[in-house]
């Protein structure tokens, strides 16, 4: 416990750790209980999904994209589908846009409730964790009623959605809104009134507003640092343009920005209420009309086969902006290439900053505070087969390799 002795020890958190949901390693340089510095080593759960996509047509890729992540499965397919629609010039019917918005917000509620529970679990507050799990059950039931599935909904498709909101489903959704408006308060109070929660989250894992911009944090992480950044507000898509979504920032409630874990907790909790309002509004304004641009699947596939171009899409997922880029080549049935940039990739960069000068006990909480989705993030892994070593490619090296590649493609 000799703090300030100058000698540091290396403590690994992960790759497999009770406090983490997915494998990632944080090598902490620890002086006593104090973290002096940290190195993040991802690369334990890379699956090569983008490569697999190159042997599939866009409709098949939807189901692949859904399996990038367990929680933001609809966020990924929504983003992919929008990129394909962008590339192929497909317009989505109004009703489908509203239904997509509703599912996106349901997923945000699911993700945030789960996260809040897990955050409490990370510092040993098991009762709040169990309460969170009970609350989460409701939104999963609603998603099951709407889509037939609880995790991978399989409900989005290119040019629309595959499930309609019938009056029966609408009733279930409205019941859920009332349920959460009553019950979520309880969780919020339990978590925020507890003195230990305050002691464990306040001034822990601070990401200053300057650092948040410098290291390109996204979603609730950057909003927790006080910046009004939200794609639903700044660059509305689907039905958000008509809904007037305002970014949630901690200073609106507390008047102050700490940029700590507590602020991120607060942002997520308030976003649950915001999502409930968005769903309510969507249900009120739900327009009549078609669900799909082209319900005939072979016809749609045929159209996509002829489509040529690159499509980009960026949407606000529960953890930050998710970006997909898709290239379709005319005459090719399969996706030419596809690039996914999940929010954790950007948020993970600020981990070492958050770790500095915190306690070892805070480490798992800090990792969880950005709501990391490691399997979303891991898009690349460089391995040297001969030596079996894993290395990190530096920025300069990556830039050089990109230039080489471009020259090769250009035939120079």
d(CA 153, CA 238): 18
The one among 91, 130, 383, 400 contacting other proteins by CB under 8 A: 130
The nearer residue to other proteins, 30 or 217, going by C-beta atoms, is 30
359 interacts with other proteins by CB under 8 A: yes
User: Residue 211 CB, nearest distance to other proteins (Å)?
Assistant: 23
The one among 53, 68, 109, 131 contacting other proteins by CB under 8 A: 131
Of 42-50, 105-113, 205-213, 358-366, which segment contacts other proteins by CB under 8 A?
A: 358-366
360 interacts with other proteins by CB under 8 A: yes
d(CA 292, CA 353): 46
364 interacts with other proteins by CB under 8 A: yes
165 interacts with other proteins by CB under 8 A: no
How big is the site for other proteins, counted in residues (CB under 8 A)?
Answer: 31
- Residue 230 token pair: 């939200």
d(CA 256, CA 226): 9
The one among 113, 307, 363, 374 contacting other proteins by CB under 8 A: 363
User: Residue 354 CB, nearest distance to other proteins (Å)?
Assistant: 16
362 interacts with other proteins by CB under 8 A: yes
The one among 128, 257, 261, 373 contacting other proteins by CB under 8 A: 128
The one among 76, 95, 108, 200 contacting other proteins by CB under 8 A: 200
The one among 51, 134, 253, 397 contacting other proteins by CB under 8 A: 134
The one among 91, 127, 251, 254 contacting other proteins by CB under 8 A: 127
The nearer residue to other proteins, 120 or 304, going by C-beta atoms, is 120
Give the list of residues 6+ apart from residue 242 with CB closer than 8 angstroms, or none: 285
d(CA 163, CA 95): 11
User: Residue 275 CB, nearest distance to other proteins (Å)?
Assistant: 24
Of 15-23, 58-66, 218-226, 321-329, which segment contacts other proteins by CB under 8 A?
A: 15-23
Of 17-25, 138-146, 175-183, 279-287, which segment contacts other proteins by CB under 8 A?
A: 17-25
The nearer residue to other proteins, 18 or 410, going by C-beta atoms, is 18
11 interacts with other proteins by CB under 8 A: yes
The nearer residue to other proteins, 8 or 336, going by C-beta atoms, is 8
Can you give the binding site for other proteins, defined by CB under 8 A?
1, 9, 11-12, 17-19, 33, 120-128, 130-131, 134, 194, 196-197, 199-200, 359-364
């Amino acid at each position: 416990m000799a703090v300030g002795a100058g000698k540091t020890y290396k403590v690994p958190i992960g790759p497999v750790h009770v406090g983490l949901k997915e494998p990632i390693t944080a090598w902490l340089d620890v002086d006593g209980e104090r973290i002096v510095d940290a190195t993040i080593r991802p690369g334990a759960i890379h699956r090569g999904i983008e490569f697999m996509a190159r042997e599939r047509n866009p409709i098949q890729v939807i189901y692949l994209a859904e399996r990038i992540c367990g929680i933001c499965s609809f966020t990924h397919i929504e983003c992919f589908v929008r990129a394909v629609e962008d590339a192929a010039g497909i317009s989505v019917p109004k009703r489908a846009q509203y239904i997509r918005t509703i599912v996106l917000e349901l997923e945000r509620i699911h993700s945030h409730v789960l996260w809040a529970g897990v955050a409490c679990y990370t510092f040993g507050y098991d009762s709040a964790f169990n309460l969170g799990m009970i609350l989460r059950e409701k939104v999963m039931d609603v998603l099951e009623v709407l889509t037939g599935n609880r995790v991978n909904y399989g409900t989005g498709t290119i040019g629309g959605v595959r499930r309609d909101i019938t009056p029966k489903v609408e009733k279930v959704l409205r019941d859920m809104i009332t349920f959460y408006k009553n019950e979520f308060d309880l969780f919020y109070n339990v978590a925020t009134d507890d003195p230990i929660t305050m002691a464990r989250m306040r001034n822990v894992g601070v990401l200053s507003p300057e650092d948040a911009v410098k290291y390109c944090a996204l979603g609730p992480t950057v909003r927790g640092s006080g910046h009004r950044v939200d794609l639903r507000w700044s660059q509305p898509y689907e039905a958000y343009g008509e809904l007037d979504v305002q970014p949630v920032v901690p200073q609106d409630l507390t008047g102050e920005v700490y940029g700590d874990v507590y602020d991120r907790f607060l942002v997520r909790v308030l976003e649950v209420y915001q999502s409930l309002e968005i769903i309510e509004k969507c249900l009120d304004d739900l327009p009549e009309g078609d669900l799909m641009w082209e319900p005939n699947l072979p016809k749609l596939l045929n159209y996509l086969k002829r489509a040529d171009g690159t499509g980009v899409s960026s949407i606000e997922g529960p953890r930050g902006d998710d970006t997909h880029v898709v290239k379709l080549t005319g005459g090719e049935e399969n996706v030419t290439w596809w690039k996914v940039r999940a929010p954790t990739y950007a948020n993970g960069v600020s981990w070492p900053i958050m770790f500095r000068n915190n306690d070892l006990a805070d480490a798992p909480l800090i990792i969880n505070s950005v709501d990391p989705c490691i399997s979303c993030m891991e898009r690349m892994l460089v391995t040297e087969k001969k030596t079996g070593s894993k290395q990190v490619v530096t920025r300069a090296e990556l830039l050089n390799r990109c230039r080489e590649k471009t020259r090769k493609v250009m035939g120079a």
